[in-house]
Chains A and B, each alone.
Chain A
Amino acid sequence: DGGITQSPKYLFRKEGQNVTLSCEQNLNHDAMYWYRQDPGQGLRLIYYSQIVNDFQKGDIAEGYSVSREKKESFPLTVTSAQKNPTAFYLCASSSPVADNQPQHFGDGTRLSIL
Chain B
Amino acid sequence: ILNVEQSPQSLHVQEGDSTNFTCSFPSSNFYALHWYRWETAKSPEALFVMTLNGDEKKKGRISATLNTKEGYSYLYIKGSQPEDSATYLCAFLAWAAGNKLTFGGGTRVLVKP
Contact = CB atoms under 8 A, between A and B. Distances in A.
Contacts of A45: 100-102
A97 B93 contact: yes
A92 to B, nearest CB: 8
A10 B91 CA distance: 26
Interface of B: 1, 4, 6, 9, 31-32, 34, 36, 42-46, 49, 51, 89, 91, 93, 97-106
B36 A59 contact: no
Interface residues of A, number: 28
Contacts, number: 61
Q: Which of A41, A90, A105 has the most CB of B within 10 A?
A: A105
Contacts of A75: none
B99 A97 contact: yes
Q: Which of B93, B98, B99 has the most CB of A within 10 A?
A: B99
A100 interface: yes
B100 A48 contact: yes
A50 interface: yes
Contacts of B36: 102, 105
A72 interface: no
A96 interface: yes
B51 A105 contact: no
Given A48-B99, A97-B31, A103 B46 contact: yes
A71 to B, nearest CB: 15
A65 B44 CA distance: 24
A42 B5 CA distance: 10
Interface string A1-26: 00010000000000000000000000
A58 B43 CA distance: 21
A105 B44 contact: yes
B49 A90 contact: no
